[in-house]
């Protein structure tokens, strides 16, 4: 099978090619696993974190990719949840122990043995992959495989972030950063909470224009104050400065949810500018999002089907995965990037 493989940690820049195109044997499914013939895989900013060593894979080489759609090709001996040919998807959660206090309480995203697709196990930048059948998801009839791929991570983690934000009906929502997840959250709110105004903070004028085109009530730079105080804000940026700015726009009792796998240290001094009385007092909250659960993925897919949510996408063939990653690093973003494989 064809696969794009990460063999070493390295920086990503213009004209770089961090992934190697290789031929590999088609993997064999284990006893409770399924083999998936992949049709599409979303390209996520987390892949940049893996490649550049901020969230490095435990072993190299590895096949990245954790927003996977495809068809069941073969089943392990005891795998019976899916039939051959059935459409399935795989998200960031590849497996969890199932026995720890977090798994038993429905918080498998916090499991100490949490394994991530495309980091701790080979993922979807390939023609085939295997996954424990319990961590694969049946896909609804719509949208298409290519449109569904970004919903499995950018959508599911955005859904979790919105749920953790505790946005009241008609509450004012802010989105700091407007990449794949942000634009899906905006569509989600427009479809499921139409009475809630949405305010977008983004460095790029193109991203602000994109947000307005998708129905944002206001869009400004990350250092601009919102025209009114907000009940909840979801931050998807990799830096601290927008977090500090977001706190200034948060209403009393509001919650800031940081939906990012890590924060860079380059602007950490921005935290020193936080003023307790202005930015945190009056019962404001800060909460982080860590991974997703299987329930997040499945509940969001059901919601997306119900409200007809389809992401804005840009497609690339598998062999152009490096170009997609470089475009993502250089912030040439309009919606979600997807590798078309099948």
pLDDT tens-digit readout, 214-228: 999 999 999 899 999
- The pLDDT of residue 108: 98
d(CA 177, CA 236) in angstroms, rounded, equals 5
With 90 as the cut, is the pLDDT of residue 342 above it?
no
Boundaries of every domain in the chain: 2-153+292-340, 155-288
Over residues 186-206, the mean pLDDT reads: 95
Return the structure tokens found at 22. Answer: 């290789």
| CATH code linked to domain 155-288 | 3.40.50.720
Return the CATH fold of 2-153+292-340: Quinone Oxidoreductase; Chain A, domain 1 (3.90.180)
What phi-psi label fits residue 325: left (phi over 0), alpha (psi between -120 and 50 degrees) or beta? alpha
- The pLDDT of residue 106: 96
> pLDDT of 50-96, one tens digit each?
999 999 999 999 999 999 999 999 999 999 999 999 999 999 999 99
Residue whose tokens read 């004209």: 15
d(CA 186, CA 193) in angstroms, rounded, equals 10
Confidence of residue 15 (pLDDT cuts 50, 70, 90): confident
Residue from 63, 58, 57 nearest 20 by CA? 63
> pLDDT of 230-276, one tens digit each?
999 999 998 999 999 999 999 999 999 999 988 888 888 888 889 99
CA dihedral angle for residue 312, residue 316, residue 320, residue 324, rounded to 10 degrees: 0
Sign of the alpha-carbon dihedral angle for 107, 67, 87, 3: negative
End-to-end CA distance of the chain: 12
Percent of the chain with pLDDT over 90: 90
d(CA 318, CA 100) in angstroms, rounded, equals 37
Over residues 319-332, the mean pLDDT reads: 94
Return the structure tokens found at 288. Answer: 């982080």
Mean pLDDT estimate for the chain: 95
- The pLDDT of residue 205: 93
198-201 and 218-220 beta bridge pairing: parallel
- The pLDDT of residue 268: 85
> pLDDT of 105-162, one tens digit each?
999 999 999 999 999 999 999 999 999 999 999 999 889 999 999 999 999 999 999 9
């Amino acid at each position: 099978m064809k696969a794009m493989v990460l063999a070493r940690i390295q920086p990503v820049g213009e004209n770089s090619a961090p992934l190697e195109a290789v031929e590999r044997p088609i993997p064999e499914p284990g006893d409770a696993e399924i083999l998936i013939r992949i049709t599409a895989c979303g390209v996520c900013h987390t892949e940049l974190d893996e490649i550049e060593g901020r969230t490095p894979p435990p072993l190299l080489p590895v096949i990245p990719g954790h927003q996977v759609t495809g068809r069941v090709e073969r089943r392990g001996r005891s795998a019976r949840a899916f039939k051959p040919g059935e459409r399935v998807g795989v998200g960031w959660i590849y497996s969890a122990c199932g026995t720890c206090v977090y798994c038993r309480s429905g918080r498998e995203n916090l499991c100490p043995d949490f394994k991530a697709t495309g980091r701790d196990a080979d993922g979807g930048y390939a023609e085939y992959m295997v996954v424990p059948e319990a961590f694969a998801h049946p896909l609804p009839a719509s949208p298409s495989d290519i449109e569904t791929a970004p919903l499995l991570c950018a959508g599911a983690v955005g859904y979790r972030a919105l749920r953790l934000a505790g946005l009241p009906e008609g509450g004012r929502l802010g989105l700091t950063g407007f990449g794949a997840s942000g634009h899906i959250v905006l569509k989600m709110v427009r479809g499921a909470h139409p009475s809630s105004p949405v305010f977008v903070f983004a460095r790029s004028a193109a991203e602000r224009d994109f947000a307005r085109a998708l129905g944002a009530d206001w869009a400004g730079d990350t250092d601009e104050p919102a025209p009114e105080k907000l009940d909840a804000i979801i931050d998807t940026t990799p830096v601290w400065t927008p977090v500090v700015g977001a706190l200034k726009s948060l209403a009393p009792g509001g919650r800031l949810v940081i939906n990012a796998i890590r924060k860079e240290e380059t602007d950490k001094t921005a935290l020193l500018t936080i003023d307790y009385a202005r930015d945190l007092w009056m019962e404001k909250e800060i909460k982080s999002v860590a991974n997703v659960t299987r329930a997040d993925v499945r509940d969001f897919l059901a919601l997306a089907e119900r409200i007809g949510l389809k992401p804005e996408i840009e497609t690339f063939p598998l062999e152009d995965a490096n170009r997609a990653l470089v475009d993502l690093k250089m912030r040439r973003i309009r919606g979600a990037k997807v590798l078309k494989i099948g």
